[in-house]
């Protein structure tokens, strides 16, 4: 997540996100304050996570590590030129985690001839829908014609989403391409299931947490620091 | 009493460069052979010869299996060993006046000679022979992973890629091991709901997920991760036990970080003068790990004590006993909550044992001996467990992986997300080729087959992981670009009917895995 992405989120969601991150100040907070608060928190968490998890990464890295010196440079783009795009109109949506998804897209040559950035009042957007309600978009993200991918914050876990690449102009909305449907993963266990309740409660205690317990990491920190 | 299922996942990406006399990244395989694969096979055989009743599950990735039986890499491994034996011999002379280091040099010399003897004499240079033997004896269950270790959740949008990865993996496993794989290892434990359909189609009865893949299932798992779940299509999902993993890796009391164990980083490849090492180094100048390491972890900082193998051996016995007693205690706690014997599943990257944690294989041997001797522990494999306890809860596991933060973030992030537009596109194009050229013969058939190989090679999760973790980034980027480029060039040649044969033959010779490959699975 970066400031640019947070700028694109509706203010109510930004407030909700900040509260999730522990923002407790009363009164109306402005977008800049909330953004700064969220980013600081995320950076702290990333740092902690990195520290906690670095041994596991180091262990897997060790498979590919034969020198501690700068990696040997390889020929890449010169020997193996690859296309930037494939002259098609499409958008692809990929799950990353319960609240973030990645989208990439491209437009065909025809669309490039009519760059909407040059058209007065026209704005290229990503329009996010909850699947099943494509009449009512959740929110729009303004993008530039030169953009080709984006990380998108999705408010709900365990929920299906679809994405449109489209243009909003004075004449209305035009969808250029529609993505596949994705389903965000759960970030906790589901509600109790009848007679499973008692036993599961025991297991919750056993794991030391309930529904919103932290995700168990693959390999916890090794005391080598 | 409870069941303990130890699972070791053996994997390296396909790295083979006949176009160079020596290639740096081929050392990934050679180091793993000396430090992990040969020691593990030796210990499994030793236990079996001694009549120790153990069971273990080994996941052998198809790319690794293909490399293990490749004659060029086998020859190059022997050359690599010869260089190390020469270096260890030189170390014996250099350390004559330093008794402690001299003893360690002698230990390395003996190890490398032993590796050479086992590799050449016992396995005829092909470790698959050892694995097949162990499976036939009934102590080891062999399972496979996807063809090139593709992170499958990133390919949901092109399901024909997932289907192809699973089908090619199974065909390759059957050819390499003369048996059907007993189960499946989802690369990086990357699971998304629905992937089990492709496993079922290939008669793969189970797979593994990270802990929360089970805990966050669409119904609460009655016994947590201490029993498998059946997906709605009756393929079983086994979840990793967090408690035993923590016992091995916890920052406070994890085993491999103990100060007496051997340090991974200090290596004579960095410590000794370049002139002394020159002839052992790639291009006579690139400092690399040689594997000869004289220091113990000791503690933070660079001031390390010399390694003491006796002290380490004592500690690993203690650690193995601790692991066993913790599992017995865990079983007794779990038994009060469950109406069936609990199952603890412990999956590990095999390369942790020996490569990263030098004493790991001996620790594992002590654990297997201790567990086999204990009446409270029943060593099992998922296949055997399901035969004995076929009635299990049905629920749909949750999208998950064992990567950092538990979902797809390691493989879909700023450093590596550029690859997916190409990888998805070539999957779609591969389907086009498979439909347009269904029953070809001769050079055209070989050309479509090579396009398929290039598509699969580009999909390896290793490249995205390396880009993210910044280890050998230029190589990972080059490999990704190379396979996308090769694929695209073949695709365009086939579509236009003009193939540059000399170039094609070079590619076919270089990227030669899965010699018999059937691309009909790409038809959509």
Q: How large is the ipTM?
A: 0.94
**Residue of A55, A182, A190 lying closest to B249 (CB–CB):** A55
* Contacts with B515 (C-beta within 8 Å, 6 or more apart), sequence order: none
Could you give the CA distance from residue B174 to residue B62 in angstroms, rounded to a whole number?
Answer: 10
Nearest to B422 by CA among B450, B462, B464: B464
Contacts of B193 in chain A (CB under 8 A): 183
Q: Do A221 and B254 touch (CB under 8 A)?
A: yes
Nearest to B30 by CA among B128, B112, B90: B112
Residue A194 predicted with pLDDT over 70: no
The pLDDT value recorded for residue A4 is 62
The pLDDT value recorded for residue A71 is 62
Could you give the CA distance from residue B10 to residue B140 in angstroms, rounded to a whole number?
Answer: 14
Tokens of B3: 């069941």
**Residue of B264, B418, B473 lying closest to A62 (CB–CB):** B264
Distances, alpha carbon B177 to alpha carbons B60, B148, B172, B180, in Å: 10, 17, 8, 8
Residue A207 predicted with pLDDT over 70: no
Contacts of B220 in chain A (CB under 8 A): 189-193, 196, 200
Could you give the CA distance from residue B276 to residue B155 in angstroms, rounded to a whole number?
Answer: 49
Q: Nearest CA of chain A to the CA of B405: how many Å?
A: 7
Q: What is the DSSP letter of B348?
A: E
Q: Where are the alpha helices (DSSP H) in B137-280?
A: 159-177, 196-201, 211-215, 242-249, 268-271, 274-277
Other CB atoms within 10 A of residue B423 CB: 22
Q: Write b or e for each residue in B465-475: b if 16 or more Cβ atoms lie within 10 A of its Cβ, otherwise e.
A: bbbbbebbbbb
* Contacts with A26 (C-beta within 8 Å, 6 or more apart), sequence order: none
Q: Do A85 and B421 touch (CB under 8 A)?
A: yes
**Residue of A72, A203, A223 lying closest to B286 (CB–CB):** A72
* Contacts with B306 (C-beta within 8 Å, 6 or more apart), sequence order: B100, B101, B104, B294, B295, B296
User: What are chain B's domains?
Assistant: 2-68+127-262+308-405 (3.20.110.10), 415-522 (1.20.1430.10)
CATH topology of domain A90-183: Immunoglobulin-like (2.60.40)
Least confident stretch, A21-25, A70-74, B71-75, B419-423: A70-74
Nearest to B167 by CA among B190, B192, B184: B184
Q: Nearest CA of chain B to the CA of A192: how many Å?
A: 7
* Contacts with B152 (C-beta within 8 Å, 6 or more apart), sequence order: B146, B162, B165, B186, B187, B190, B191, B192, B195
Could you give the CA distance from residue B353 to residue B40 in angstroms, rounded to a whole number?
Answer: 8
Residue A53 predicted with pLDDT over 70: no
pLDDT-derived band at A1, boundaries 50, 70, 90: low
Give me the residues paired with residue A151 across strands.
A102
Q: Where are the alpha helices (DSSP H) in B272-413?
A: 274-277, 309-335, 360-373, 382-388
B214 in reach of chain A (CB within 8 A): no
Which B positions 382-411 lie with beta carbon below 8 A of chain A?
398-400, 402-409
Could you give the CA distance from residue B325 to residue B334 in angstroms, rounded to a whole number?
Answer: 14
B469 in reach of chain A (CB within 8 A): yes
Locus of tokens 């909550």: B337
- Measured in degrees and rounded to the nearest 5, phi and psi for residue B67 equal -70, -40
Q: What is the DSSP letter of A139?
A: E
B424 in reach of chain A (CB within 8 A): yes
Q: What is the DSSP letter of B520?
A: G
The pLDDT value recorded for residue A214 is 47
Contact B356, A65 (CB under 8 A): no
Q: Torsion angle, CA of B26/B30/B32/B36, rounded to 10 degrees?
A: 170
Residue A193 predicted with pLDDT over 70: no
Residue A197 predicted with pLDDT over 90: no
**Residue of A85, A102, A106 lying closest to B417 (CB–CB):** A102
Q: What is the DSSP letter of A102?
A: E
Locus of tokens 């103990």: B258
Which B positions 285-314 lie with beta carbon below 8 A of chain A?
286-289, 297, 300
Q: What is the DSSP letter of B306?
A: B
Contact B49, B39 (CB under 8 A): no
Could you give the CA distance from residue B188 to residue B209 in angstroms, rounded to a whole number?
Answer: 9
Tokens of A194: 């009848």
C-alpha neighbours within 13 Å on the C-beta side of residue B126: 13
Which of A189, A209, A211 to probe by mutation at the B interface, max B CB count within 10 Å? A189
The pLDDT value recorded for residue A23 is 80
For chain A, the farthest-separated pair of C-alpha atoms sits apart, in whole angstroms, at 64
User: Is A191 or B387 the better-scoring residue by pLDDT?
Assistant: B387
Taking residues A21-38, what's their average pLDDT?
77
**Residue of A71, A85, A202 lying closest to B475 (CB–CB):** A71
Q: Do A202 and B404 touch (CB under 8 A)?
A: no
B478 in reach of chain A (CB within 8 A): yes
Q: Do B477 and A183 touch (CB under 8 A)?
A: no
Could you give the CA distance from residue A205 to residue B292 in angstroms, rounded to a whole number?
Answer: 46
Nearest to B486 by CA among B500, B475, B496, B471: B500
Q: Tens digit of pLDDT per residue, chain B (524 long)?
A: 999 999 999 999 999 999 999 999 999 999 999 999 999 999 999 999 999 999 999 999 999 999 999 999 999 999 999 999 999 999 999 999 999 999 999 999 999 999 999 999 999 999 999 999 999 999 999 999 999 999 999 999 999 999 999 999 999 999 999 999 999 999 999 999 999 999 999 999 999 999 999 999 999 999 999 999 999 999 999 999 999 988 887 656 689 989 999 999 899 999 999 999 999 998 888 899 999 999 999 987 878 999 999 999 999 999 999 999 999 999 999 999 999 999 999 999 999 999 989 999 999 999 999 999 999 999 999 999 999 999 999 999 999 999 888 999 999 999 999 999 999 999 999 999 999 999 899 999 999 999 999 999 999 999 999 999 877 899 999 999 999 999 999 999 999 988 889 999 999 999 999 999 999 999 98
B428 in reach of chain A (CB within 8 A): no
The pLDDT value recorded for residue A29 is 76
Which B positions 14-43 lie with beta carbon below 8 A of chain A?
24-25, 27-28, 31-32
Taking residues A128-154, what's their average pLDDT?
90
Long-range contacts of A56-60 (CB under 8 A, 24+ apart): A56/A217, A56/A218, A56/A219, A56/A220, A56/B249, A56/B404, A57/B404, A57/B469, A59/A219, A59/A222, A59/B349, A59/B352, A59/B356, A60/B349, A60/B465, A60/B469
CATH 2.60.40.10 segments of chain A:
90-183
């Amino acid at each position: 997540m970066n400031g640019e992405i947070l700028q694109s989120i509706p203010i109510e969601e930004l407030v909700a996100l900040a509260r999730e991150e522990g923002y407790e100040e009363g009164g109306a907070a402005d977008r800049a304050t909330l953004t700064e608060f969220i980013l600081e928190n995320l950076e702290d968490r990333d740092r902690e996570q990195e520290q906690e998890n670095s041994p596991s990464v180091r262990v897997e890295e060790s498979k590919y590590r034969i020198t501690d010196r700068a990696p040997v440079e390889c020929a890449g783009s010169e020997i193996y030129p690859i296309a930037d795009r494939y002259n098609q109109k499409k958008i692809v949506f990929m799950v990353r985690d319960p609240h973030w998804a990645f989208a990439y897209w491209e437009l065909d040559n025809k669309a490039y001839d009519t760059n909407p950035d040059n058209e007065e009042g026209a704005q290229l957007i990503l329009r996010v829908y909850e699947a099943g309600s494509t009449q009512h978009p959740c929110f729009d993200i303004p993008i530039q014609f030169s953009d080709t991918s984006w990380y998108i914050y999705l408010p709900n876990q365990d929920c299906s989403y679809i994405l449109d690449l489209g243009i909003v102009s004075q004449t209305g909305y035009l969808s250029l391409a529609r993505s596949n449907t994705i389903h965000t993963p759960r970030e906790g266990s589901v509600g109790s299931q009848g007679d499973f309740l008692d036993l599961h409660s025991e297991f919750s205690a056993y794991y030391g947490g309930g529904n919103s317990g932290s995700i168990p990491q693959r390999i916890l920190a090794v005391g080598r620091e | 009493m409870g069941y303990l299922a130890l699972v070791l996942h053996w994997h390296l990406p396909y790295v083979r460069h006949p176009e160079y006399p020596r290639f740096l990244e081929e050392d990934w395989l050679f180091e793993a052979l000396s430090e992990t694969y040969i020691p593990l096979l030796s210990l499994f055989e030793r236990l079996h010869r001694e009549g120790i009743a153990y069971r273990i599950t080994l996941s052998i990735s198809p790319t690794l299996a293909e490399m293990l039986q490749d004659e060029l890499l086998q020859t190059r491994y022997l050359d690599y060993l010869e260089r190390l034996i020469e270096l260890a011999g030189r170390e014996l002379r250099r350390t004559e006046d330093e008794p402690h280091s001299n003893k360690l040099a002698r230990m390395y010399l003996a190890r490398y000679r032993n590796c050479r003897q086992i590799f050449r004499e016992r396995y005829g240079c092909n470790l698959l022979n050892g694995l097949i033997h162990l499976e036939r004896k009934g102590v080891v269950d062999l399972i496979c992973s996807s063809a090139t270790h593709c992170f499958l959740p990133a390919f949901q949008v092109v399901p024909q890629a997932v289907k192809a990865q699973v089908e090619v993996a199974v065909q390759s496993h059957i050819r390499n091991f003369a048996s059907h794989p007993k189960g499946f290892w989802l690369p990086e434990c990357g699971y998304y709901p629905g992937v089990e359909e492709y496993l079922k189609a290939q008669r793969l009865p189970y797979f593994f997920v990270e802990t929360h893949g089970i805990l966050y299932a669409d119904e609460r798992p009655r016994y947590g991760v201490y029993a498998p779940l059946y997906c709605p299509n009756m393929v079983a999902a086994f979840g990793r036990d967090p408690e035993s993993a923590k016992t091995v890796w916890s920052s406070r009391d994890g085993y491999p970080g103990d100060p007496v164990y051997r340090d991974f980083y200090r290596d004579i490849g960095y410590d000794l003068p370049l002139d002394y090492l020159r002839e052992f180094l790639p291009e006579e100048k690139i400092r690399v790990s040689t594997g000869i390491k004289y220091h113990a972890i000791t503690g933070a900082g660079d001031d390390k004590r010399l390694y003491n193998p006796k002290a380490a051996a004592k500690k690993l016995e203690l650690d193995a006993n601790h692991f066993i007693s913790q599992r017995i205690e865990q079983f007794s706690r779990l038994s009060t909550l469950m109406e069936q014997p609990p199952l603890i599943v412990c999956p590990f990257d095999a390369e942790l044992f020996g490569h990263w944690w030098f004493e790991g294989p001996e620790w594992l041997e002590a654990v297997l001996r201790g567990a086999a001797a204990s009446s409270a522990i029943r060593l099992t494999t998922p296949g055997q467990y399901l035969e004995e306890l076929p009635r299990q809860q049905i629920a749909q596991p949750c999208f998950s992986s064992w990567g950092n933060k538990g979902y797809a973030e390691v493989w879909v992030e700023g450093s590596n997300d550029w690859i997916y537009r190409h990888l998805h596109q070539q999957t779609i194009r591969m389907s086009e080729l498979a439909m347009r050229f269904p029953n070809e013969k001769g050079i055209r058939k070989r050309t479509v087959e090579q396009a398929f190989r290039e598509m699969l090679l580009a999909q390896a999760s290793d490249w995205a992981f390396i880009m993210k973790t910044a280890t050998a980034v230029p190589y990972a980027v080059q490999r990704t670009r190379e396979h996308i480029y090769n694929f695209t060039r073949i695709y365009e040649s086939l579509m236009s009917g003009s193939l540059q044969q000399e170039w094609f033959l070079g590619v076919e010779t270089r990227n030669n895995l899965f010699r018999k490959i059937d691309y009909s699975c790409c038809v959509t």
